[in-house]
Amino acid sequence: MKKSALALAVLAALSLNASAQTNVQVYGLVDAGVEYVNHAAANDGSVVRVVSGGKNTSRWGFRGTEDLGGGLKAVFNLEGGVLLDTGAQDGNLFKRQANVGLEGNFGRVIIGRSFTTTYDLVIKFDPMGFAPNYSWATSGNATGPSKYGMTTAFDNLIKYTGTTGGFTYGATVGMGEQAGNSSDGRKYAVGGSWFGSGVGLMASYEQINGNTVVATGNRDKTTAFHLGATYKQGPLQYTAAMRGYKLQSGKAATPDVEGDTYWGGVTYAVYPWTLTGAVYHINTKNLSAAKDADPTMLVARAMYSLSKRVWLYASVAHAKADHGQLVGLSRDDPGFASTQTGITTGIQYRF
């Protein structure tokens, strides 16, 4: 922690010194709340706890640009997560973003660690905005044999993003960096979206390679494709999307894992209120009927804006699994029964 604090101090000093020559911003989001959730332990008990990131994950960072002339800019982004309930660092110092690159009329190219093209596209088609409490848009509940999700960020990436009119498109490659086999550990994401006249459409695809299994000569391979649509009319916005997920095993006698996730929702926004209702469902395909959980989660959230940067929110969610299988509301914390209900109230401050 002492090293982390020193690193933060050095970076803060550098950002202030550089501000005279380049545009450097210090920014962040702090979000904390109180959650009640039942079936939170093997003894079927409930718990009340302080949570970090009830609406969005808490983070802080530095980002900057420098005009190089001729419409060309140098860009960088350093962003880390923070757990407000304890003040601890959430993962590596800059787990969320650590990249540098160039931006111009051609678009933006960055190198390092960042969110994938798929994540950038899908997040705009989640009515809950990828809320840790509660959304399965990027990853399902943590209880099943697989989260049936997608990879939100790549290490060792090269990422391109471009825009033309209402179209946004891009591709991301995460280098596997395995000597002698460039395909091992390689990651890919590609996709695009279009917005116009209140309508939005999205499609994306990603593939995550594992390493070759010596005994079989094959490797694990995870694929996920997404389709989404949204329509906004006045204060109402309607959203629907889906993900097709498959984990193809490279190990002998190990079955593949497949599942489709569907979600939709309605948002009503009249300042200072924003009201959202959403439903998420995972259709597990390759398990026996007696074991298929096929979980469904219903969510409702109310947000009240105290200012442009400060929000109060309250969310309630209920999840249920079929055939007595276990289900949890969260992508991070497993549940211990076939149903789970949670309520979160909190505050978010952006700076």
User: Which pLDDT does position 6 carry in this prediction?
Assistant: 44
CATH number belonging to the domain at 28-350, selected among 1.25.10.10, 2.40.160.10, 3.40.50.1820, 2.60.40.10: 2.40.160.10
Residue of 337, 321, 316, 255 lying closest to 282 (CA atoms) = 321
Which residue do the tokens 């200012």 mark?
307
User: Which pLDDT does position 255 carry in this prediction?
Assistant: 86
Q: What is the pLDDT of residues 58-69, one digit of tens each?
A: 999 999 999 999
- Whether residue 290 is predicted with pLDDT greater than 70 in this model: the reply is no
User: Which pLDDT does position 1 carry in this prediction?
Assistant: 46
Q: What is the pLDDT of residues 213-260, one digit of tens each?
A: 988 989 999 999 999 999 999 999 999 999 999 999 999 888 889 999
Under a CB-based contact definition with an 8 Å cutoff, are residues 133 and 54 in contact?
A: yes
**What are the start-end ranges of the E strands in 120-248?**
153-164, 167-174, 187-196, 199-212, 219-233, 236-248
Which residue do the tokens 């990422």 mark?
159
* Percent of the chain scoring above 90 in pLDDT: 81
Under a CB-based contact definition with an 8 Å cutoff, are residues 17 and 11 in contact?
A: no
Q: pLDDT band at 44, cuts 50/70/90?
A: confident
Task: Average the pLDDT over 310-320 and give the result.
Answer: 98
Cβ count within 10 A of residue 2:
6
Residue of 80, 36, 28, 31 lying closest to 52 (CA atoms) = 31
Number of alpha carbons in the 13 Å side-chain half-sphere of residue 234: 1
User: Which pLDDT does position 286 carry in this prediction?
Assistant: 76
- Whether residue 11 is predicted with pLDDT greater than 60 in this model: the reply is no
Cβ count within 10 A of residue 141:
27
Q: Is the pTM of this model over 0.85?
A: yes
